[in-house]
Amino acid sequence: VRERSCALYQFISDNEMQEKLKIQELEFAGRKDKAMEKEYAQIYGIVMRLLDKMVEILGDEKVSAREYQQLLEAGLTEAKVALIPPSSDQVLVGDMERTRLKEIKVLFFLGVNEGNIPKDSSRGGLLTQMDREFFQEEKIELAPDARELLGQSRFYLYLNLTKPQDFLYLSYSQANAKGEGLSAAYLVGTIQKLFPALRLRCGQGSSLEGLQRPSGSLDYFLEGLQEYEYGQETKVWRELYRWYQKDESYRPQVKRLVEAFFSENPQDRISKAVAKALYGEVSPYGATRLEQYAACAFAHFLRYGLQVTERVQYEFSGMDLGNVMHKALEIFARKVRDQRLSWGELSREDRERLVSESLQEVTEDYGNTILHSCARNEYLIRRTQRVLNRTAWALQEQLRRGDFQPEGFEVAFEGGRIDRVDICEDENKVYVKVMDYKTGNVSFDLVALYHGLQLQLMVYLDAALLVEQKKYPDREVIPAAIFYYNIKDPMIKASIEEDIGKVEQKILRELKVNGLVQSDPRGIEHLDVTMETLPLTKNKDGSFRKGSSVASLHQFGLLSDYVKGKIQNLRREILEGNAQAAPYQMDKKEACTYCPYRGICGFDQKIPGFFYRRLKNLEEKEVWEKLEEEVKSWV
């Protein structure tokens, strides 16, 4: 203050200068007192808010002095006081793009991880690059595209890295909150090349700042348990453990923590008698249930044994959307049949009218009229109608290209319902096709079938063949195909001038079925003479191109025999009481991804006894060989 005052008032007399200096010193002291005053004012407000919250939570409930102390400690631990540094030095925390730095001595650059530096600028949007170029030619300004954003990010990076005068620290995380590994950004490698003498420093140990109160020291204690397991505990941690053992109020809690840390997951089994009482008779046609068991025995136990269900919420979820579409398609097919209309000759006007009527029937009373409860759900109705119009059109086009005709919709049999069964009569033969509608992105996988994760289509096919054989006892009933149809409304790229017929052709290719086709040429012609809607293509010599999803009549029989044997094995394991929490994992797929019971099973690979059943991904040739071997071993 004195130096600055001398420079500022160099033309003022000595007496006057002394007066000015005293005034400035008083002002400085006053600012300091005001800062402390603001700090204490915050503390008062924090304490009062904490007491108010305790009253709201506890109400008239009486607690002991010890419990009251613990509650007060927990609240004060989380309290934060906003402070401005009381000196000319300061610490500024900010974002790389929005913060403007000037004359700084030291810069700590945090989060220098891949994906953060430079920031990932890839994002979806309504406009393609071609659209952007068109608007640019029309002199219409748009938000920056991915290339511009990347350039801006690099520019901001350069500005910030060149700001500090004395020191620059780059820091990156080696793992995220889930324990998954993270890699450093390319910037770290670039800096190391520019300055070869630099060495990386890794964070060491745990901070002792938490050792101020017994409750706050528990985190440090838990971290030390991990080091203790490997014989690397510290003297401070051992002393902390001894203190907890002596203190009567914390001894039980610490004991439970130690027991939990060294616990192991037991092999979950129930007795045969209990399994019989819980499950009763396991139907061989319950494909969904058997697939659930093949994915995770514990999830099957919770759902079908204990009958644990998710809490019902008044909302319209993705599952509800699938149910609405399935029901609407069922009603649509029934209306086509009742009005004696032909699928092949159905006009666009009739098709869209029937779709609208069918959807209206479903939505009027679905979920206590939840679909009319808000504007968002009203929009979902319109969107669902558009998707159903597209679906009805695609299903009609697929049937037009072949000779199959729908034989039944929502065909019920023991343990299940088939979405659709089509047949085609050819002299003394009857070809049968089974189709299952899916609102998700489900694809037929022969390897998943081998592991018991996709039994549904083959179970449905066997049931349909039995039904049709009873209807046509004097004819040979032959499997033609098993298909999944994914209900969706795809977006395609096309120019404005392109013919509408070609555009619809592209959409139809996007909506082609996926599954397995019987390789009989006659049966394929009956399905689709153009083969454009089928999951197969042919070479010029008539052979099937690699990647075509086809199987011979013998292989279809082999699949049928294998699935029947697999089902018997799964049923036997269920009734023997296996309920182990050992979900499957194959490549990037695993049973836990969409499991609603993740909060119950406590699955954690860090705990001994928990593990994934890692299923091997096989080549198609290997699958058929293994199917042959296993079916022969069962005979």
Question: 8: which residues sit within 8 A by CB, 6+ positions away?
Answer: none
Residue carrying the six token digits 């008698």: 273
> What's the confidence (pLDDT) of residue 132?
80
| Helix or strand (DSSP H, E) at 195 | none
Omega before 118 cis (within 30°)?
yes
Sign of CA dihedral 266, 268, 272, 278: positive
The fourth-level CATH superfamily of domain 106-194 is: P-loop containing nucleotide triphosphate hydrolases (3.40.50.300)
Q: How many Å apart are CA 165 and CA 106, to the nearest integer?
A: 7
| Structure tokens that stand for 333 in this block | 């097919």
> What's the confidence (pLDDT) of residue 557?
94
Question: For helices 251-261 and 218-229, what crossing angle results, to 10°?
Answer: 40
**C-alpha gyration radius of the chain:** 35
Sign of CA dihedral 359, 365, 367, 373: positive
Q: How many Å apart are CA 152 and CA 148, to the nearest integer?
A: 6
Domain boundaries, the chain: 2-77, 106-194, 218-261, 267-635
Q: Which ranges of the chain have pLDDT less than 50? A: 1-15, 17, 20-21, 24, 28, 204-206
In 465-577, at which residue ranges do the beta strands (DSSP E only) sit? 476-486, 514-518, 550-551
Regarding pTM above 0.75, the answer is: no
Question: 223: which residues sit within 8 A by CB, 6+ positions away?
Answer: 206
Sign of CA dihedral 394, 398, 400, 401: positive
Nearest of 153, 149, 152 to residue 112 by alpha carbon: 153
> What's the confidence (pLDDT) of residue 353?
92
> What's the confidence (pLDDT) of residue 7?
34
563-532-323 Cα angle (round to 5):
55
Q: How many Å apart are CA 555 and CA 571, to the nearest integer?
A: 24
> What's the confidence (pLDDT) of residue 526?
93
Q: Please state the length of the chain.
A: 635
Nearest of 224, 230, 227, 226 to residue 210 by alpha carbon: 224
Question: 163: which residues sit within 8 A by CB, 6+ positions away?
Answer: 101, 102, 104, 107
Residue 561: CA count within 13 A, CB half-sphere: 17
Q: How many Å apart are CA 419 and CA 436, to the nearest integer?
A: 5
Q: How many Å apart are CA 580 and CA 576, to the nearest integer?
A: 12
Contact 444, 514 (CB under 8 A): yes
| Structure tokens that stand for 497 in this block | 């001038």
